Amino acid sequence: MNGGNYTRSNSEDCLIAIKGKGLERKDASIKQVIYACLGEHSQKPIEVHYRLEKLYGEVKRIELFARDKVQGWDLWGNEAPENSVSF
């Protein structure tokens, strides 16, 4: 079980990065908090992908430190099944 100094550390952060002036929101109803069952270490719930797709529409996306391939997303990471991009 993942422990913290005072409470159980059980959040996974999701950072959104942009280049340039940013993207227009396609849906302003997207909430920040996602409640989901615990997955593998650092595995993002599929709900994260769904909400980001709904928030920004059809744009290029990349998941860093990915564990699984998701349709419409590039991926990169040492545990990714295949890296779509190289740095």
Q: Which residue has the higher pLDDT, 39 or 69?
A: 69
Q: Which residue has the higher pLDDT, 54 or 65?
A: 54
Q: What is the pLDDT of residue 62?
A: 92
Non-local CB neighbours of 36 within 8 Å, separated by 6+ positions = 45, 47
- Residue 1 pLDDT > 80, yes or no? no
pTM for the structure as a whole: 0.79
DSSP secondary structure, the chain, as one string: ----SSS-----------STT----S-TT--S-------STTPPPHHHHHHHHHHH-S---EEET-SS--TT-EEE-TTSSS-S---
